[in-house]
Amino acid sequence: MNKISKAVVSRLPRYYRYLDELKQQNIERISSKELSKLMNVTASQIRQDLNNFGGFGQQGYGYNVGYLYEEIGKLLGLDTKHKMVIVGAGNLGQAIANYGNFKNRGFEITALFDKNKDLIGKKTANYEIKDIVNLYDYIKENNIEIVALTLPKEPAKIIAEKLVECGVKAFWNFAHTDLKFSNDVIVENVHLSESLMKLTYRISEKNMHDK
């Protein structure tokens, strides 16, 4: 398979979400034109995106919703379990732990870690908050694949570097810094404030247009 562009990959979770909604409505098949209306992208774009992976559709029939949902799930790696811990059990860390849909998608959160003595030993969403001093041994002993970092900038960098030494290959990073490692370590940097600023830009743009 040729290398797929980041733009195409970034759209796969959206396809997956809409197909899930169609499944819940017991819709068995859908055309690229019908899907384009739901997702507000062109039918041509949908066909081009899916053709990167073999197409999945049949002319005159469209797409089998259940089959396409499963195949995109496989492309996204959701057909296997991914063990994850959250480092930083503050409001954001606990909010992520409490989001039940992660488990439905194959993400198994096994524990949260923090240095705050008032939090250690407590449970959130049935996950125990553990002392961060035990983090590195826990990672090695439990074959953790993904680490979510909900920490301030500086400790996030230090802890991430140590976790790479422990064998962690993937970070979901909410810290206010872009983590960068060698190509064998995968990082998804999430900046909530940047997303919000995109929204305020569009508000400002609309207000200027309406004047």
Among 82, 148, 146, 162, CA closest to 114: 148
Residues 112 and 19 in one domain: no
Q: Is 187 exposed, middle or buried (0-12, 13-18, 19+ CB in 10 A)?
A: middle
Model-wide pTM > 0.85: no
Give 114's strand partners: 131
92 and 48 share one domain: no
Whether 63 contacts 35, CB under 8 Å: yes
**Distance of alpha carbon 211 from alpha carbon 207, whole angstroms:** 6
Task: Please report the pLDDT score of residue 124 as a whole number.
Answer: 87
Q: Is residue 185 part of a domain?
A: yes
Instruction: Specify whether 189 is located in the same domain as 87.
Output: yes
Confidence at residue 171, expressed as pLDDT on a 0 to 100 scale: 96
**Amino acid identity of 99?**
Y
Same domain, 68 and 88: no
User: Which domain, by its residues, includes 164?
Assistant: 82-193
Q: Which parts of the chain have pLDDT scores under 50?
A: none
105 shares its domain with 146: yes
- What confidence score (pLDDT) does residue 163 get? 95
Question: Which tens digit of pLDDT belongs to each residue from 122-139?
Answer: 998 888 899 999 999 999
Q: Do 87 and 149 fall into the same domain?
A: yes
- 69 and 87 part of one domain: no
Q: Would you say residue 198 lies in a domain? A: no
Q: Can you give the pLDDT at residue 165?
A: 92
